[in-house]
Chains A and B, each alone.
Chain A
Amino acid sequence: MTQEIDKPSTIWKVIGASSVGTLIEWYDFYIFGSLATILSKQFFPEDQGTAALLSTLAIFAAGFIVRPFGALVFGRLGDLLGRKFTFLLTLVLMGGSTFAIGLVPGYKTIGIAAPLIILALRLVQGLALGGEYGGAATYVAEHSPVKRRGFFTSWIQTTATLGLFLSLGVILFTRNTLGVDDFNSWGWRVPFWVSILLVVVSIYIRLKMQESPLFSKIKKEGKISKNPLKESFGHKTNLKMVLLALFGAVMGQGVVWYTGQFYAQSFIENTCKVDFEQSRTILLWAIVAGTPFFILFGSLSDKYGRKWIMMAGMLLGILSYRPIYQSFLNDTSAAGHSALLQADKTVLKSQLISFDTKDAKKAYLVSKVDSVYSDGSVFKYTLTDTLYFTEAASEKRAEAAVLAYQSASDSAAPIAYAAVKAAAGTTGKDTISVVTSHASVKAAVGVEKSMGSSIFWKMVLLVFVQIVYVTMVYGPIAAFLVELFPTRIRYTSMSLPYHIGNGVFGGLVPFLSTLIIEYTKTPENPAGSPLAGLWYPIGIAAVCLVIGILYLSNKIDEDVSDDENEFVHA
């Protein structure tokens, strides 16, 4: 069967049509996650910052949680009606819902309807993604020549990473073109609108493709499954392979993937406080350098088998995550940079004072201070200090307070309370009682770091290393899953473990890691242990590694046109 489709031009058309569509689906899915902070402000009440972010994260998680359900719904359709129709349908759903997110008015305009609509659209996105990947991977694998399945399906594997690359690229381009204020106000909608153009092109390409030859063959022979869900999960012979795929391969692959691509960026931005643009640029460079390795490891898996390449990727992740993330912390810490501080170039950039609308005796002084280091790093501090006045705050009093602050902040270090108080005491008839303490100044310090080139490239290298682990576990996995299940129920059987492993175990890495860090916070250590979150991916990958090593076979199933499961991996 494979001989008639073993024409180079045909297979490359198949890969092109499948990959472009899958890439767009990933793009659609990622822009929501990449813009989570902005979306939380747009679609949730402004005065509940943390609640809003958590709500968005919940929606983000909902997107992942519904993915397995999408795998069941569309996997079933794919095994009943065909691969081509099904992944056309998922593409339309994904593109339509993404475009619609870009049109939904904010919370200020339509109130609670805004987050509810967003939640509904996000669920549709998750469902569509759940159906897409299995279809594309199956479609390519069923066209691939014998002994090259790992190589050809690895092109599909690049799309998830390239989709992230595309989403970050479009977001950064839009932000730089429009400016930060316009982007935060309305420009964030542009990446969602761009989706519709990409989807139209992809639908056009996919419409011109033929149905999978293996599916056409079993359809012609009347061997299509009547109930793919029952056959996949209701019979022990297949269920045990589904469980093996999940616990022995995909579960570990999922956490390695999401740690390398998402947790790394989130950690660099939120824990290390590297600025928005640089944290994303680091990931972009790492992705560019790492993507060819998907093809390399996919191709190597044709020669050496899928198992040991995937297991090696997991093992390397388990052993090196903590040193890598410790290095991120060390390289971006102010303490680590103290010897490099250039005091003469450290300047107070601006100060603004604003009055509390509810308390007339209260005002806020926001000082922006740039600390410059000899390695090219710049740490931009925003110090928000609260001024308490004995009488109602007035412009005159505030002015005097600002003067007092300026005279006390020549070193641009956090402003010394004693100096401020002393200066405030000399302002004559305006009695200013600045009762803020140094501790409260510290608590209101925000920082954005732009790292010097040597540290920047070191961070790119460390993220790149993690991306290589991703390529080791993810490059061969499509071929591995395809070979595990028979044609008649392949779409359903491979989609579910894939989306539980990636959507649930992998997709919740940022969420659960953040949760673990929360639990390490104590009054003595209010920041918690930033590396504690890594125990989740390390633990899951370790269990998966043990199961994978002991239970999986390294044998490659050469004939995937088989109608029965032959347990090649057990």
Chain B
Amino acid sequence: MNQIRRILGIVWAILGPLAIYLMFNQAVSKVVAANSKIAAAVDEAAKVTAEAAKLNIQMQWGIIILIFVPIAFGLMIFGYYSFRGEYDRT
């Protein structure tokens, strides 16, 4: 069981940066898509709506990144400890 914990430690340690990458990737792609909508707006009203949507997307992803990045670091540390056998039982 200790061996499984140690191996899984690698998984948790990788999951942390992976989560950060996915979050940034999603955030960037959503903002880019929102910019495209603003550029494609046919009139002023549509442009205002698209800009408001972009603001919402930025806000949402800003919140998510702000709070989950430190947690993802925590998961990396957890994985590292696990890999080093800190959670082994005798």
Contacts and interface: CB of A to CB of B under 8 A. Distances in A.
A58 B64 CA distance: 11
B56 interface: yes
**Chain A interface bracket (under 10, 10 to 19, 20 to 34, 35 or more):** 20 to 34
A504 B87 contact: no
Interface stretch (A236-244, A363-371, A457-465): A236-244
**Chain B interface bracket (under 10, 10 to 19, 20 to 34, 35 or more):** 20 to 34
A54 B56 contact: yes
B86 A240 contact: yes
Given A236-B86, A551-B5, A243 B60 contact: no
Contacts of B67: 65, 504, 508
A543 B15 CA distance: 11
A500 B71 contact: yes
A550 B5 contact: yes
B67 to A, nearest CB: 5
Contacts of A508: 67
B49 to A, nearest CB: 9
A552 B27 CA distance: 34
Query: Chain B at the A interface: mostly helix, strand, loop or mixed?
Result: helix
Contacts of A543: 15
Contacts of B5: 550-551
A515 interface: yes
A58 B12 CA distance: 29
B56 A61 contact: no
B71 to A, nearest CB: 7
A58 B59 contact: yes
A244 B78 contact: yes
A512 B60 CA distance: 9
Nearest to B77: A243
B4 interface: yes
Contacts of B66: 65
A262 B88 CA distance: 37
Interface of A: 48, 50-51, 54, 58, 61, 65, 236, 239-240, 243-244, 246-247, 500, 504, 508, 511-512, 515, 543, 546-547, 550-551, 553, 570
Interface of B: 1, 4-5, 8, 12, 15, 52, 55-56, 59-60, 63-64, 66-68, 71, 74-75, 77-78, 81-82, 86-89
17 contacts: A50-B52, A54-B59, A61-B63, A65-B67, A236-B81, A236-B86, A240-B78, A240-B81, A240-B87, A243-B74, A243-B81, A247-B78, A508-B67, A511-B60, A547-B12, A551-B5, A551-B82
